[in-house]
Structure 1
C-alpha cells in the first residue's frame, strides 16, 4: 500500500510523468484528485489506486514535503500499545494451540462471520453463539451474551475480574506479585478464547452449543494439565 501510494502522490502533485498526464487527461480531468471517486466501469487497478488514495487522504493533506515509501509505511502502521507476543503466545505453560488462537485474536484475523461476508464466502453475519448480533472479534470476545457468561464463570473461578474487552492487553499490563500467577492467568485467558472459538465452530458445523458451565469444566481441565 505504501508503494502504490507513491503513484497517488505523483498524481496529487502532477509529477512530470507521461502516465500521470494520461491519468489527469482521461480520468480526473477538471476534478480534485483528493475527492475523486472512480466509476463502476473503471479498471480493477485504477479502482485499487483510488482506494489507497482514500486511505492516505489525510497524509496527502498533511505532508508538504517529498513522499517516500518509508514515510508512507511509518504513517500507515498502527501506533497503539505494543504487545509482547513472544511473552504471550510462547508462554511455556500455555497449550500451543491456545496460544496460537490468542495470537490470531490479538491481530483480529479470525474468520468471523463479518469477515466471511466481506470475502463473499457467506451471506449471513449472525453470531453462532447468541444468534442475535453480528459476529465479529469485538462481539465474540466478550460482548456476546454466551461468551460474557463464560467470562463471568471464569472470573468467579479465578477470583479475577476479567474485562469484557482487550483481555490480552489487560493481562500484559497487569502486575502480579507472583510470576506463577501471571503465567497461570495467561493460560486461563488463552484457554477461554480458544474454547469460545472452538465452541463457535462446533455450533457452526454441528449445530450444537454446549452450556457455559461445560466450557468452564473443559477450561479447568486444560489449565490444570
Structure 2
C-alpha cells in the first residue's frame, strides 16, 4: 500500500525518452537534462542574479535571451532548424520541437532515436555557438553547426553498429546521413 502511494504520486516527465536514447551522445543527454531543469545560465537568469545588467541574445543581438528564445524563437536557431528539416526531410514544427519528437509515431524506434539525437545535438551546438559568440564575438554560420551535428550523429550511428531490422529505417538512415548539406 505504501509503495503504490509513492508510485501514484509520480510526475510524468516528457523528456525521459531522451535519457534512454542509445544514439544520444552522453554530454548532450546531460545538457538536455540541464535545459529541462532550467539550469542553463542564460542571460535572463544572469540578470535575475544581478551578475549582468543587459539581457540580449548573443546570436541575434535583438531579443532578450532565455531558454525559449535561444532554442526556438531566435532567428539563428530557426535557420539552424530549417537546415535540419532540409537535411533530414522531416517537418519539425519550430515551436513544438520537443513535444513533436515525444509524440511522433514512427515505423522505427531507431529513427526516433536518431531524430532525438539530432535535436539534442542541435540544442547543444546552439548553446556552444551562443557561448562562442559571447566570448569570441563570433557567430558561426548555421551551415557549420549542421555539418558538425551531421558528423556527430553519423559517427555515433556507425560507432554503435546499430542493427537495422527495418528496410525502411535502413534506407532512411543511409539517405539522411549520406546527404550533403
Q: Does 1:191 align with 2:86?
A: no
Aligned partner of 1:170 in structure 2 is: 100
Distance 1:196 1:109 in 2: 16
Pick aligned residue for 1:219 from 149, 156, 171: 149
Q: Does 1:91 align with 2:91?
A: no
The structure having more radius of gyration, on CA atoms, is 1
Instruction: Could you tell me which runs of 5 or more consecutive residues in structure 1 were left unpaired when the two chains were aligned.
Output: 1-73
Shift of 1:200: 0.3
Aligned partner of 2:173 in structure 1 is: none
The TM-score normalised by the length of structure 1 is 0.62
Distance 2:41 2:124 in 1: 14
Instruction: Could you tell me which runs of 5 or more consecutive residues in structure 2 were left unpaired when the two chains were aligned.
Output: 1-8, 156-181
- Contact 1:90–1:96, Cα closer than 8 Å, also in 2: no
Distance 1:191 1:147 in 2: 12
Q: Which stretch shows the higher mean deviation, 90-99 or 147-156? A: 90-99
Shift of 1:84: 4.7
Q: Which structure 1 residue ranges, 4+ long, deviate > 4 Å from structure 2?
A: none
Pick aligned residue for 1:137 from 43, 67, 70: 67
Shift of 1:83: 1.3
Distance 1:116 1:164 in 2: 26
Superimposed CA distance per residue, residues 110-141 of structure 1 (whole angstroms, 9 cap, x where no aligned partner): 11101100011111100000000000111011
Distance 2:118 2:79 in 1: 15
Q: Which has the higher contact order (CA 8 A, sep 6+)?
A: 2
The TM-score normalised by the length of structure 2 is 0.76
Aligned partner of 2:136 in structure 1 is: 206
Shift of 1:169: 2.2
Q: Does 1:82 align with 2:13?
A: yes
Q: Does 1:156 align with 2:92?
A: no
Q: Between Structure 1 and Structure 2, how many residues are aligned?
A: 147
Superimposed CA distance per residue, residues 30-70 of structure 1 (whole angstroms, 9 cap, x where no aligned partner): xxxxxxxxxxxxxxxxxxxxxxxxxxxxxxxxxxxxxxxxx
- Contact 1:125–1:134, Cα closer than 8 Å, also in 2: yes
- Contact 1:141–1:164, Cα closer than 8 Å, also in 2: no
Superimposed CA distance per residue, residues 86-127 of structure 1 (whole angstroms, 9 cap, x where no aligned partner): x21241211111111112222222111011000111111000
- 1:163 and 1:212, CA in 2 relative to 1: closer, same or farther beyond 3 A? same
